[in-house]
Homo-oligomer: A and B are copies of this chain.
């Protein structure tokens, strides 16, 4: 038995989704989503910098508020890749989780498949359903053993 979470909206028209949920489509929201997709894994600050570089000036608070909305819509997710600020990443390239090297800070994106045994075990033992997309596993990468 695998956890079937809400599947990623088929990359389809998120603009439509926005409006259907009563949200409005603004240039800022477009810019911020584009920046997250372009950057891979980025902190709110990095997103802000990227958007500003790209074009117009956007405010910090708008970045925070927008990332929240985008996550609620399932377009982006956040993970904690450091003890500092969280990073946001697009979900369009498929769900994955992260390995972070404690030594060199390298981030490796991993296919959720390897979690199957763990998910089954936790479901059986504790009735617990894992939120795969949010998972970050810290440790040491091959180069830093």
Say whether chain A's binding surface is mostly helix, strand, loop, or mixed.
Answer: mixed
Chain B residues within an 8 Å CB radius of A86: 83
Q: A110-B122, A118-B115, A121-B114 are in contact. Are A139 and B130 (CB under 8 A)?
A: yes
CB distance from A43 to the nearest CB of B (A): 13
Q: Could you tell me if A142 and B128 are in contact, using CB atoms closer than 8 angstroms?
A: yes
Chain B residues within an 8 Å CB radius of A102: 131
* A102-145 with Cβ < 8 A to chain B: 102, 108, 110, 114-115, 117-118, 121-122, 125-131, 134-135, 137-143, 145
* CB-CB nearest 3 A-B residue pairs: A127-B142, A117-B117, A130-B139
Mark A residues whose CB is within 8 Å of B.
Answer: 80, 83, 86, 99, 101-102, 108, 110, 114-115, 117-118, 121-122, 125-131, 134-135, 137-143, 145
